[in-house]
Amino acid sequence: MISRRSSLKALGAAALGFVLSACDRFTASDSTLRSLGAAEGLTRRVQRLIGGRAMAREFTRADISPMFKANGNLNPATPEYAAHAAAGFADWRLVVDGLVDRPLSLSLADLHAAPARTQITRHDCVEGWSCIGEWTGAKLGPILQQAGLRPTARHIVFHCADMWPAADAARRPYYESLDLIDAFHPQTILAYQMNGRPLPIEHGAPLRLRAERHLGYKQAKYIMRIEAVESLDPIGGGHGGFWEDRNYERYAGI
């Protein structure tokens, strides 16, 4: 019969990758208590990660929509973006900064060389339409690890090249954000390809977010900069995204 203690030990070893000391009699030294405390914290984090790991449904190539609607801004139309697009994004760089030990400046070639994932998923816009497409891109998690995310970082912010609304005097840059569980989700990628071809301008060239467990407005297009922050309060209107801010403003006065 497997005792509760030994099965707990096996569980701990399997989940955490280390084994508690072999002695059955508990003689706790300070350092044992400290490492048990650390293990408990780790277990909590591992459980949150597992809980946050539910996968969005994936489809087959036969399911891909013949026409994928483009929505929101279809071209940032700033002189800077136009110059990048004219040069095929050869001089474009993705900046990764904020609460990281090693800020990065990545070319498209760097992103192509990073650990990648391809996924066929359904995009759902709150306006009431859905399309299925295939996305290929660099996994966000390894890039954040490469940058050396600091322990104080709690959210990842995506700063985009486009302003919204494009013709308004009070235009604001589009942005979005993810918490760390979603940032490290296996289906969270920085997509540079759509349906096997370089990302078209209307769909966010040269780089857009695919965070598949979220609605369309989370899928930030035209990403220029990724910033690790502790709090979303000072970013945009403080609600984690351009449309999140706007909904708040829209409903606040009612």
Ligand X SMILES: Nc1nc2c(c(=O)[nH]1)N[C@H]1C(S)=C(S)[C@@H](COP(=O)(O)O)O[C@H]1N2
Looking only at residues 222 through 241 of this chain, which bind ligand X when binding is defined by CB under 6 A? 222
Sign of the Cα pseudo-torsion (188, 139, 146, 185, in order): positive
Shortest spacing between CB 55 and ligand X, in angstroms: 21
Shortest spacing between CB 254 and Mo ion, in angstroms: 22
Joined tokens for residue 11: 């569980």
CB-nearer residue toward ligand X: 148 or 216:
216
Out of 42, 125, 181, 201, point to the residue binding ligand X (CB under 6 A).
125
Shortest spacing between CB 179 and ligand X, in angstroms: 18
Judged by CB under 6 A, the stretch of 8-16, 97-105, 135-143, 156-164 that binds ligand X is 156-164
CB 219 within 8 A of CB 167: no
Judged by CB under 6 A, the stretch of 8-16, 54-62, 80-88, 201-209 that binds ligand X is 201-209
* Neighbour count for residue 145 (Cβ, 10 Å): 13
Shortest spacing between CB 121 and ligand X, in angstroms: 12
Is residue 216 a contact point for ligand X (CB under 6 A)? yes
CB-nearer residue toward ligand X: 155 or 214:
214
Query: Could you say which DSSP state residue 16 is in?
Result: H
Sign of the Cα pseudo-torsion (196, 201, 202, 204, in order): positive
Judged by CB under 6 A, the stretch of 39-47, 144-152, 177-185, 200-208 that binds ligand X is 200-208
Is residue 188 a contact point for ligand X (CB under 6 A)? no
Is residue 43 a contact point for ligand X (CB under 6 A)? no
Judged by CB under 6 A, the stretch of 10-18, 67-75, 85-93, 182-190 that binds ligand X is 67-75
Burial class (CB in 10 A: 0-12, 13-18, 19+), 58: middle
Distance CA 251, CA 43 (A): 40
Q: Which of 85, 72, 80, 121 is nearest to 241 (CA)?
A: 72
Out of 71, 78, 193, 247, point to the residue binding ligand X (CB under 6 A).
71
How many chain residues touch ligand X (CB under 6 A)? 19
Residue 158 contact among ligand X, Mo ion, none, beta carbon within 5 to 8 Å by kind = none
DSSP codes, 49-112: HHHTTPPPP---GGGS-SS----S-S----HHHHHHHHTTTSS--EEEEESBSS-EEE-HHHHH
Is residue 160 a contact point for ligand X (CB under 6 A)? yes
Phi, then psi, of 235 in degrees rounded to 5: -95, 125
Rule CB under 6 A: which residues touch ligand X? 69-73, 125, 160, 162, 164, 174, 202-204, 216-217, 219-222
